[in-house]
Amino acid sequence: MTVPRKQVHLGAHFPGVNSTTVWTEPDSGSQIDFASFEHLARSAEDARLDFFFLAEGLRLREHKGEIFDLDVVGRPDTLPVLAALAAVTDRLGLVGTINTTFNEPWEVARQFATLDVLSGGRAAWNLVTSPDAFTGANFRRGGFLPYEQRYERAAELVAVARALWDSWDDDAVLGDREGGAFLRDVEHVGPHFQVRGTFPTPRGPQGHPVLFQAGDSGQGRDFAAATADVVFSMHSTFEDGRAFYRDVKDRLPALGRREDSLKILPATSVVLGDTAEDAAERARVIRRQQVSGPGAIAFLEQVWGVDLTAYDPDGPLPDVEPDVGNADITRGRVRHVKDPRPVVAAWRARAEAERLSIRDLVIAVTSRGGFVGTPTHVADEIDRYVQQDASDGFILVPHLTPHGLDDVLATVVPLLQERGSFRAEYAGPTLRDHLGLDRPAEGRAATAHLDQQPVG
C-alpha cells in the first residue's frame, strides 16, 4: 500500500500594486474591471485551487513626495470584490487582506460573517498589521498606533471578532415560525476595545472564517502560531522555506496545536517553457518588463534617498553617496534598508565584478526566484517543496492580469493531480474543507454570556 502523499495547497493571487505586475504587454488587461477578477477566479476554480487571494493597501504609494506612477496604481476594495466573486464561483475560497489597525472589530467581524454566509462558507481574512502614520492619515483617528502595539491590537481585534462570531449558535437561524434558538450578548473590555452588544449577523457556515496571517517578525510568527490557520509567507526558496517552516511549526506544540492545523504558503511565481532554455529566456524577458529603466532608477532612489533621474539606467551605478537621513523618500511601502551605505558599497562591488548596468543590477538584486522550467520540472519542484516541508503549498502570483495563471493551471496542476499530490475534486463546500481545517465549535469564546434571546 502506498503512503498517502502530503497534499499541495494552491491559491491564486490577483496581480496588483507592485513592480512584479507587468502592464506594458498588449495582453495585460484591466486591474479594475470585474471581468479580470472573474476570469482568474473561475479558472482557479476550474483547476480546483484552494482559494483566490487579494492583497490590500490603504494609501497610494508616494515617491519623492508624489504619487508613484511607474507601477500599477489603484485597486478596488477587497471585500466587495470577494462578495461579487461569490456570485460567479461555487467552491473557491475567497481570501481578503484586511488591516487590523485601521478597522473596528464590530464592523469587520460583521463583514466577514456576511461574506461567509454569502459565499456558503468560503471566506478568509488575511490579517495584516502595518500601523504607519502615512496610511493612518486617511482615517479619522490618524496614525494613532505605535509600531510596537501592532500585534497587541491585532490579537485583541481577533479575540473580539471570535466572540462575536461565537455569539450565535450554529442553528440560531431556524426558520421556525414558533420556536427559536439562542444568541448571546457579548461584552469585552480591553486596552484597545470596549465592545458590548448583540451581534446582528448570523454565524457563517465555517463558524469562523479561515484566518491567514502575513507578517514576518518574531512577533508576527508568534501571532501566527497562536492565531492563524494559514501563514502567507515570503520565504519561497527551498532552504529559506524549510527554515521558516520549522521555525513557525515548532511554536505550535507549546500552544496545544497540531502541526497540520497551520498551513504555510509562500508567495511564488512560475515561468513555463517547452524546454528549460525556453523558460529561462521567457523569465529573462519578464524580468526586464518588470524592471523598466525609470523603475530601476526609482528603486535605487529608495536606497540612496536622493534624486537620481540624471543617471542612465543602462549606465554604471551612481557615483554620488546616499543620503542617510532620507529614509522616507518612498512612503506606503515597507522599507527594508535602514543604513543604505553598506548596501550601496556591496552593490557597487557586485556591479563592477559582474559588469552590470543599473538596470541589470536592480534585476539581479530584486529577483525573488520562483519556479522556471517545463511544466514537469515545475510540478516536480512544487511537489518536492511540499513533501519535504519547505511549505504546504504556494500562493501563485502571476505577472499578467488576468490570464497570467492560465498556463500553470492547464499544465502544472494536472501533473500534480496525476501524482496524487493535488485534489482532482473538492472534498467539501467550504474553504476549511479544502485546507483540511477543523471547524471551530460553537460558543467556544470565553466571553460573558448574558441575556439569552430567542431568534427567528
Ligand X SMILES: Cc1cc2nc3c(=O)[nH]c(=O)nc-3n(C[C@H](O)[C@H](O)[C@H](O)COP(=O)(O)O)c2cc1C
User: Which parts of this chain interact with other proteins (CB under 8 A)?
Assistant: 23-24, 32-34, 38, 57-60, 66-67, 69-77, 79-81, 83-84, 86-88, 102-104, 106-107, 110-111, 114-115, 117-118, 137-140, 142, 168, 172-177, 183, 193-198, 200-202, 292-295, 453-456
Of positions 8, 47, 128, 405, contacts ligand X by CB under 6 A: 128
29 binds, among ligand X, other proteins, none (CB under 5 to 8 A by kind): none
The answer to whether the beta carbons of residues 113 and 165 sit under 8 Å apart is yes
- For residues 85 and 81, what is the distance between their CA atoms, to the nearest angstrom? 6
Preceding omega of 414 cis (within 30 degrees of 0): no
- Binding to ligand X, residues 246-305 (CB under 6 A): 267
- For residues 171 and 291, what is the distance between their CA atoms, to the nearest angstrom? 54
Of positions 7, 78, 89, 129, contacts ligand X by CB under 6 A: 129
* Residues of the binding site: 97, 151, 217
Residue 93 pairs in a beta bridge with 51
Residue 14 sits in the site that holds ligand X (CB under 6 A): no
Considering the complex, state which of residue 19 and residue 201 has its C-beta at the smaller distance from ligand X. 19
The answer to whether the beta carbons of residues 118 and 80 sit under 8 Å apart is no
Residue 99 sits in the site that holds ligand X (CB under 6 A): yes
Cell 499544465 sits on residue: 411
Of positions 67, 87, 234, 346, contacts ligand X by CB under 6 A: 234
Considering the complex, state which of residue 63 and residue 184 has its C-beta at the smaller distance from ligand X. 63
Considering the complex, state which of residue 75 and residue 403 has its C-beta at the smaller distance from other proteins. 75
Strand (E) or helix (H) holding 284: helix 276-290
For residue 167, the one-letter residue type is S
66 binds, among other proteins, ligand X, none (CB under 5 to 8 A by kind): other proteins
Residue 214 sits in the site that holds ligand X (CB under 6 A): yes
CA 307 vs. chain centroid, Å, equals 32
Considering only CA atoms, which of 132, 10, 31 is closest in space to residue 394? 10
- For residues 201 and 238, what is the distance between their CA atoms, to the nearest angstrom? 43
Considering only CA atoms, which of 207, 116, 203, 225 is closest in space to residue 438? 207
Identify the three-state secondary structure at position 47: coil
- For residues 12 and 385, what is the distance between their CA atoms, to the nearest angstrom? 18
Q: How far is the CB of 359 from ligand X (least distance, A)?
A: 26
- DSSP labels for 239-254? HHHHHHHHHHHTTSGG
Residue 97 sits in the site that holds ligand X (CB under 6 A): yes
87 binds, among ligand X, other proteins, none (CB under 5 to 8 A by kind): other proteins
C-alpha pair distances (Å), 425 with each of 50, 92, 380, 433, 438: 11, 12, 21, 12, 19
- For residues 101 and 136, what is the distance between their CA atoms, to the nearest angstrom? 9
Considering the complex, state which of residue 129 and residue 421 has its C-beta at the smaller distance from ligand X. 129
200 binds, among ligand X, other proteins, none (CB under 5 to 8 A by kind): other proteins
Q: How far is the CB of 216 from other proteins (least distance, A)?
A: 23
Considering the complex, state which of residue 225 and residue 296 has its C-beta at the smaller distance from other proteins. 296
- For residues 104 and 195, what is the distance between their CA atoms, to the nearest angstrom? 10
Considering the complex, state which of residue 193 and residue 426 has its C-beta at the smaller distance from other proteins. 193
Say how many residues touch ligand X, by CB under 6 A.
19
Cβ burial of 214 (10 Å; 0-12, 13-18, 19+) is buried
Of positions 138, 217, 387, 452, contacts ligand X by CB under 6 A: 217
Of positions 10, 41, 47, 55, contacts ligand X by CB under 6 A: 55
232 binds, among ligand X, other proteins, none (CB under 5 to 8 A by kind): ligand X
243 binds, among ligand X, other proteins, none (CB under 5 to 8 A by kind): none
Binding site for ligand X (CB under 6 A): 55-57, 97, 99, 128-130, 214-217, 219-220, 232-234, 267, 334
